[in-house]
Amino acid sequence: MIPSIQELLTITCKDSFQKSPSAPSLSIGVPSRPLDVNSSTVLAGPLSIIIDYEYKLLQHSAAYLDFKSELKDCTFTAVDGRSFVLVDRLTLWMKSESRSGNSHLSRLLAAAYPNLDQADYPITQEELSQPSDFKHLLIFCILVEIGSEELLMKFFKKREKSDANLPIDLRWLVSSLKEMGVEHHEQAAAKFDKTQWKYCPAILELNMRGSYLSNHIMPFSRKERINSKGGTASLWQIEIPEAFVGPKLREAVPWSRYREEKLGQVGIPSSFISATFLIVI
């Protein structure tokens, strides 16, 4: 449990008196003006260390809270009651600039490695979000959501699985986390597996064939049967976010694109557009 600043002050003062019994009494007064954390004010001694430590904790907490808030805004409910994430919007937000001037991704990395300077991070935000087969941005989002972001470096070093491999097989997760030396690896694998499915819902493409596992989420916001009489096959009209419509299908049914919505909140460019497709399957 992380001690509060009051507890740290008490510990520091007690420690000072134990080391120097003849030290004069300590008097902490109220400053004549509020402390400006952005100013050039320099605090000396253990108090400066404590305030810096507490301030970093607040920054890290704010980074996590901002992520949870954005994740909530990017999460929608499918017709079967399960949740799915608009991952293109979430990853765009992760790379965008926050109010502090740093990207949300860099703030979350700082929170994941609180005892390291940015130059000493075992992985950079460029490596994490690089447009390659080894991008780990969504894996990082999953780990942050389940409170296991410290496992990011283990995933990255293994170099066997990336965002392109989602959903990752549960058996691989169990054996790999055990190999990585993760405590309670079976529970950690199960938590990751339970969460990952909403980050990789099914994508519809033209002339697609095949079947899906029961865990796969169909990101339909609306589904309505349109041939209730006759015929051996069922026809359904569905509503699906554009992010989950493959490029070939988008090109084939451009008239099905409707209900465009500009997302102009903090951190998301106003040019980013969310559209919905109305498709018969």
Same structural domain for residues 134 and 255? no
* Residue 234 domain flag: yes
Q: How many domains does the chain have?
A: 2
* Residue 74 domain flag: yes
* Residue 80 domain flag: yes
Same structural domain for residues 276 and 178? no
* Residue 254 domain flag: yes
Helices (H), the chain: 5-19, 46-73, 87-95, 104-112, 125-129, 137-145, 152-158, 170-179, 185-196, 247-252
CA distance 61 to 55: 10
Same structural domain for residues 228 and 171? no
Q: Which residue among 199, 230, 245 closes a domain?
A: 199
* Residue 165 domain flag: yes
Same structural domain for residues 260 and 139? no
Residues of the chain with pLDDT under 70: 1-59, 132-134, 229-232, 258-281
Same structural domain for residues 163 and 237? no
Same structural domain for residues 190 and 262? no
* Residue 21 domain flag: no
CA distance 151 to 85: 22
* Residue 215 domain flag: no
CA distance 281 to 278: 10
- Which domain, by its residues, includes 10? 5-14+47-199
Same structural domain for residues 175 and 238? no
Same structural domain for residues 173 and 262? no
Write the single-letter amino acid at 60: H
Output the pLDDT for position 186: 95
Q: What are the phi and psi torsion angles at 257 (to 5°)? A: -85, 125
Output the pLDDT for position 279: 56
CA distance 144 to 167: 17
Same structural domain for residues 194 and 145? yes
Output the pLDDT for position 230: 60
Same structural domain for residues 59 and 178? yes
Contacts of 193 (CB under 8 A, 6+ apart): 167, 168, 170, 173
End-to-end CA distance of the chain: 53
* Residue 242 domain flag: yes
CA distance 161 to 183: 20
Same structural domain for residues 183 and 245? no
Output the pLDDT for position 137: 92
Same structural domain for residues 185 and 227? no
